[in-house]
Structure 1
Amino acid sequence: DVARLDTMVTVVDAVNLLNDFSSHDFLCDRGETLGEEDERTLVHLLTDQIEFSDVVVLNKVSAARPQQVDAARKIIRSLNADARIIETDYSEVAPSDILNTGLFDFEKAHEHPQWAKELYGFADHVPETEEYGVQSFVYRARRPFDPAKIHALLNATLPGVIRAKGHFWIGSRPNWVLEFSLAGALSSVSPLGSWWASIPQERWPDDERARTYARSLWVEPFGDRRQEIVFIGAGIDWPQLKQWLDDCVLPEEAGDDLGAFAGLADPFPSYQRSEAAA
């Protein structure tokens, strides 16, 4: 039989992973681009490769300081809840650990990222609260964020947070689903589309499954609009982080009239409707 590589394997450097994951470098700064149009950052490449791996080989563990190895373990497990972590030197790995393992499953690859398991509650997921000290917290709320306050918080340092991802809405733009993503030193906010609550029901899809799903997310008075962001890391002061997020939510006294929020100071960039699905 011919050996078949059916495992997604990523090799990371225990000596340099922490520094690389804290970097703002683009791949072009490292001479690793796929071409002139490749605008990816080093952090995005590392995140993608680790999140979708079945096996992560943590190399050069003997050359790394204990603190570097510990940080690398935390980064890997914060990004990927399922990957086997193999610690080694000189990339020495037993062939049986990466060949003919049967680990790779294209349909389940999207379930590897820790953020996805926490945010979407995959049934077979047991949250990691012990291994390497990595913990996950999901923030949920229904009322809108104050645009200026949440913009300041999402651009601030969030101690202990290694990975964060989720969707949210701000009072000044009640139609937009916005996505927050943080990995290492880099974070971004981008438009995902529209809330069902902002679309007239006569324009909803005819598929009853889609309509049922939309209704399952419905809570008056804001419909399916909601804040859902998962934060993953080590040493996160969750009560403090939750308080910071709560402080960004518009209070009950502000009322439920979406039109009343239109004049709020909004530092987020403008989005064109073509950037997101209607």
Structure 2
Amino acid sequence: NHTPETEEYGISSFTYKRKRPFHPMRFVEWCDHMPDSIVRAKGIIWSARHQEVALLLSQAGSSAKIEPVSYWVAALSQAQQQDVFQQSPEVLEDWDEEFGDRMTQLVIIGIDLDREEITKQLDNCLLTNEEFQNPWERLQDPFNWEWQ
């Protein structure tokens, strides 16, 4: 009888998806102290300080990188948006009236993951209701890239 490696080693995964931006400093702090059970995390991040661009989180073991990956469709001109919608109508499936395609979608892979705890930790990195109401450009930006 062969036991699949996922069962034998306790490997599992889940997708974390939210339509509220991360507070950039809290999210970077979480990345710096990610639970040891996470072996790999990868996906698109919505940071409140970066309304124009989607960020890519790519983490493997102790190495994590966050960098701009593309413009949000919602940040494009109306004409450019219409072109995207015609070429990729699936973009509209998750479209938000106010924020467009901005969202976070991460795949977390690990060993003996505590999905509830990791989800709670990530939810604590999201903007609070009070922060959501205040100007986001006042939030500290932990990144030093030039994106054009």
For residue 186 of structure 1, report the CA deviation from its aligned partner. 1.2
Distance of aligned partners of 1:206 and 1:135 in 2 relative to their CA distance in 1, 3 Å threshold: closer
CA contact (8 A) 1:221 1:256 kept: no
Provide Cα deviations, 1:11-43, integer angstroms capped at 9, x if missing partner: xxxxxxxxxxxxxxxxxxxxxxxxxxxxxxxxx
Q: Partners of 1:265 and 1:213 in 2: how far apart?
A: 33
Q: Tell me which of 137, 144, 161 is aligned to 2:21.
A: 144
Name 1:185's counterpart in structure 2. 62
Q: Tell me which of 265, 268, 276 is aligned to 2:140.
A: 265
Q: Partners of 2:120 and 2:84 in 1: how far apart?
A: 41
**Equivalences, count:** 144
Provide Cα deviations, 1:198-233, integer angstroms capped at 9, x if missing partner: 1122123277232x2222230232111001011101
Counterpart residue identity of residue 213, structure 1: E
CA contact (8 A) 2:16 2:105 kept: yes
Q: Tell me which of 65, 77, 99 is aligned to 1:222.
A: 99
Q: Indicate the SS of the match to 1:154.
A: helix
CA contact (8 A) 2:85 2:91 kept: no
Distance of aligned partners of 1:172 and 1:235 in 2 relative to their CA distance in 1, 3 Å threshold: same
Name 1:24's counterpart in structure 2. none
Tell which has more relative contact order, 1 or 2 (C-alpha 8 A, sep 6+): 2
Superposition map of 1:83-232 within 5 A:
130-204=7-81, 205=83, 208-210=86-88, 212-232=89-109
Q: Partners of 1:157 and 1:145 in 2: how far apart?
A: 15
Q: Indicate the SS of the match to 1:163.
A: strand
Q: When the two structures are superposed, what TM-score results if normalisation uses the length of structure 2?
A: 0.86
Q: Partners of 1:242 and 1:207 in 2: how far apart?
A: 31
Q: Indicate the SS of the match to 1:248.
A: coil
For residue 256 of structure 1, report the CA deviation from its aligned partner. 5.9
For residue 237 of structure 1, report the CA deviation from its aligned partner. 1.7
Q: Partners of 1:200 and 1:228 in 2: how far apart?
A: 24
Counterpart residue identity of residue 143, structure 1: R
Distance of aligned partners of 1:253 and 1:184 in 2 relative to their CA distance in 1, 3 Å threshold: same
Counterpart residue identity of residue 241, structure 1: I
CA contact (8 A) 1:191 1:271 kept: no
Q: Partners of 1:184 and 1:269 in 2: how far apart?
A: 23
Q: Indicate the SS of the match to 2:100.
A: coil
Distance of aligned partners of 1:255 and 1:186 in 2 relative to their CA distance in 1, 3 Å threshold: closer
Q: Partners of 2:84 and 2:114 in 1: how far apart?
A: 45
CA contact (8 A) 2:38 2:111 kept: yes
For structure 1, the residue ranges without an aligned partner over 5 or more in a row are 1-73, 78-127, 274-278
Provide Cα deviations, 1:116-152, integer angstroms capped at 9, x if missing partner: xxxxxxxxxxxx6x35311101111101100110011
Q: When the two structures are superposed, what TM-score results if normalisation uses the length of structure 1?
A: 0.48
Identity, % of aligned positions:
30
